[in-house]
Copies of this chain bind each other. A is one copy, B any other.
Amino acid sequence: MILRVSTKGEYGVRLMVDLARHYYSSRPRSLTDIAQAEQLSLAYLEQLVKLLREAEPPLVVSTRGAHGGYRLSRPPEEITMGEIVRVLEGPIAPMICATEGEMTQICSLLDSCKTKFLWARVRDAVAQTLDSMTLADLVGASEQETQNAPTHFISISDIRVAPSSAL
């Protein structure tokens, strides 16, 4: 399993998609509502949304107090999935010496390292895929569907029972 999206990334993206669907609502959307719609823990979502709010630049803005909640900081078409995932999961790097950007800094000795080209290409493929999609793309994909129905999703943590051989 070379691609490992933690629940941070998974839930966080779902949170952002939810916010995108409610972007043109008059009121901000509360985490309580999102937690219910997405069947996620409120306390855990609070941790995730903190990352999104404190990101530079921020991806969501909050309103405190009763009838408060969250909004996207920008329209859905201006927020790429790459931004979201990087905030939640950290930089896209298969290993420490293949971090985005400066690769030669950490791997100084290693001109002869043949495998780094491999990981760099994989990394770039992922980055380009994520950076070429926006929230609007994800929301628009099935816009005709139910407006308020929960967006179910089976995650790894739901299926501890299944034999790992099935993976």
A45 within 8 A of B: no
Contact B90–A126 (Cβ < 8 Å)? no
Copy count, this protein chain: 2
Least CB separation from A109: chain B residue: B152
Q: Is A43 interfacial (CB-CB < 8 Å)?
A: no
CA distance A94 to B4 in the complex (A): 5
Contacts of A17 in B (CB 8 A): 114-115
**Residues of A in contact, count (CB < 8 Å):** 60
Q: Does B1 contact A93, Cβ atoms closer than 8 Å? A: yes
Q: Roughly how many angstroms separate A63 CA and B91 CA in the complex, as a whole number?
A: 42
Chain A 12-36 interface residues, beta-carbon cutoff 8 Å to B? 13-14, 17
Render A53-96 as a binary contact track against B, CB cut-off 8 A, 1 for contact. Answer: 00000000000000000000000000001000100011111111
Does B2 contact A92, Cβ atoms closer than 8 Å?
yes
Question: Is A51 part of the contact surface with B, judged by Cβ < 8 Å?
Answer: no
